[in-house]
Amino acid sequence: MVLCVKNLSVSIERSRIVHGIDCHLHEGELLMLLGPNGAGKSTLLRAISGDLAYGGSVSLSGRELGEWRPEHLARQRAVMPQRVEVNFPLTVEEVVQLGRSELRAGMNDPVVDRLMDDLDIAHLRHRLVPGLSGGEQQRLQLARVLAQIMDSPGERLLLLDECTSALDPAHQQMVLDLVRRLAKEEGVAVLAVMHDLNLAAQFADRLMLMKAGYRVHSGSAWDVLTPDLLETVYGFSARVVELEEGYPMVVPRRGAPVRAQLAPLNPSCRQAS
Ligand SMILES: Nc1ncnc2c1ncn2[C@@H]1O[C@H](COP(=O)(O)OP(=O)(O)O)[C@@H](O)[C@H]1O
Ligand SMILES: [Mg+2]
């Protein structure tokens, strides 16, 4: 198993943000994490990344996170945070190269070229990063993050926090196709926070739904994206219809009341681990 999270809790300034989460990922699996703003998705991801102190256990390839040497961890696990600010006058190509270790760094690194092609930023390679659009910056950050683990031997884990939030529909599909290909063809285990329920339904192997720091439900798209759960977790009313390809599609009901701020988590909805 690539990732095994047991009873993970995170507190910040004495308030509990994440409560007793369990989840696991096998090689080649793509798990998408859903939930409303403030549900604790980024906090959970940051704890799994080792950026926040946590209670419980996070192990990668059977070894607890704290036992990994940083240089080894960097080759097996890559993290794309929700927000990355690059204000240095670096070019696109230089930023992708930052993802390569010194050993692999070089001007003609084929991995850097391939990732720039795959993420449609090759034409921007000599541009300075601060002048890029939001979507271009997001694709660049993903290229840098992927460069870090691209040709590492052994099990690999990719943690992505809303990696398509700034992208147009074509680039969303391009990025998610690439991430899925990395999972299915190269065995990378992926945990990706998403907001778009319909993209999650199409691209994920499994979904996990969080609210108020708890795991509310996990399973297939059809298990998780039900009108009842969407109402409970997000406080909005939607139909769920079946697409020709067999995926569920969530269609919000226009004009129906939205109770996003008013819908506290009913304790009975917390999923037993
Ligand atoms: N450093 C922090 N200090 C105080 N509160 C925080 C901090 N980080 C996150 N929170 C709070 O924890 C909750 C979960 O945040 P977050 O994990 O970013 O949610 P999500 O990614 O699901 O939108 C939010 O209410 C947020 O305000
Ligand atoms: Mg977040």
Q: What is the pLDDT of residue 272?
A: 53
Task: Give the model confidence (pLDDT) of 184-242 as tens digits.
Answer: 999 999 999 999 999 999 999 999 999 999 999 999 999 999 999 999 999 999 999 99
Q: Is 179 exposed, middle or buried (0-12, 13-18, 19+ CB in 10 A)?
A: buried
Q: Which residue among 43, 193, 233 has the greatest number of ligand 1 atoms within 8 angstroms of its CB, and so is best to mutate?
A: 43
Residue 82 alpha carbon, nearest atom of ligand 1: 21
Q: What is the pLDDT of residue 104?
A: 57
Rounded to the nearest angstrom, the distance between the alpha carbon of 213 and the centre of ligand 2 is 12
pLDDT category at 156 given cuts 50, 70, 90 is very high
Q: Which residue among 9, 10, 12 has the greatest number of ligand 1 atoms within 8 angstroms of its CB, and so is best to mutate?
A: 12
pLDDT category at 105 given cuts 50, 70, 90 is low
Q: What is the pLDDT of residue 261?
A: 60
Name the residue with the closest Cα to ligand 1, atom 13: 38
Selection from 154, 194, 171 nearest residue 32 by Cα: 194
Q: Does domain 3-269 have CATH number 3.90.1010.10?
A: no
Please list, residue by residue across 104-119, b when 16 or more beta carbons sit within 10 angstroms of its beta carbon and e when fewer do: beeeebebbeebbebb
Ligand closest in space to the Cα of 17: 1
Rounded to the nearest angstrom, the distance between the alpha carbon of 40 and the centre of ligand 1 is 6
Ligand closest in space to the Cα of 41: 1
Ligand closest in space to the Cα of 162: 2
Which residues, listed in sequence order, are joined to residue 59 by a DSSP beta bridge? 4, 64
The secondary structure of the chain in percent helix, strand, coil, rounded to multiples of 5, reads 35, 25, 40
Q: How far apart are CA 48 and CA 8, in angstroms?
A: 9
Q: What is the pLDDT of residue 170?
A: 98
pLDDT category at 36 given cuts 50, 70, 90 is very high
List Cβ neighbours of 88 (8 Å cut-off, separation of 6 or more). Answer: 129, 130
Rounded to the nearest angstrom, the distance between the alpha carbon of 34 and the centre of ligand 2 is 10
Q: Quick check: 102 pLDDT over 70?
A: no
> Which pTM does this prediction carry?
0.95
Ligand 1: residues within 6 Å at CB?
12-13, 17, 35, 37-43
Tell me which amino acid residue 239 is: R
